[in-house]
Amino acid sequence: MKKSFLKESATSLTALIFLVVGITGVMMYFHILDKYTEALHENLGLAFVVVAVLHVFYNWSSMKRYFPKKLFHVFSVIVLVVSLAFIVSVKEGENPKKTIIHSTLKAPLAVSSALFGKDVAEVIEVLKVHNLQVSKGSSLDEIAKENKISPFEIVDMISKK
């Protein structure tokens, strides 16, 4: 392949993938269609790294001119300080939302049903209406595995009025 084709491809792909990764990042920040954007954002993020490396490789000679400039140094310090601030501010340990969700899904049905404001008999009835196999002592996770569905689908069934 010709070097000019690869250079133009790397530059074009860098710009286009940057747009999509940027837009999906903003959407995820505001929790807009998270379910759909997360996988796209993550996979294109990896592709972005690859094409960005190619872009830098093919444009290295012109990019080197930016490094000695004062503005480049100022922005480098700003990005470094902001990045370090985020790293330092993140606390060690498990995400509390994840802990609550995990505990709810692993708890016996009698316990988790109370979180939905229902007794265990009501929950079992709702699940049987949806043709799910249910044992009274099972957890939502176990019921989901037994019925080969997502535990979140079960949560959705239970929480609907």
Asked whether residue 104 falls in the same domain as residue 44, the answer is no
Instruction: Give pLDDT, residue 136.
Output: 65
The secondary structure of the chain as a DSSP string is --HHHHHHHHHHHHHHHHHHHHHHHHHHHTTSSHHHHHHHHHHHHHHHHHHHHHHHHHTHHHHTTTTTSHHHHHHHHHHHHHHHHHHHHSPSS--HHHHHHHHHHHSBHHHHHHHTT--HHHHHHHHHHTT----TT-BHHHHHHHHTS-HHHHHHHHH--
Q: Which of 45, 65, 89 is the last residue of a domain?
A: 89
Ranges of residues in the chain whose predicted pLDDT is under 70: 1, 90-95, 136, 161
85 and 113, same domain (yes or no): no
Domain co-membership, 77 together with 121:
no
Domain that holds residue 138: 96-159
Instruction: Based on the fold, state whether residues 67 and 128 are members of the same structural domain.
Output: no
* pTM for the whole structure: 0.50
Count of structural domains, the chain: 2
List, for residues 96-124, the tens digit of each pLDDT value: 777 788 888 888 888 888 888 888 888 88
Same-domain status, 73 and 133: no
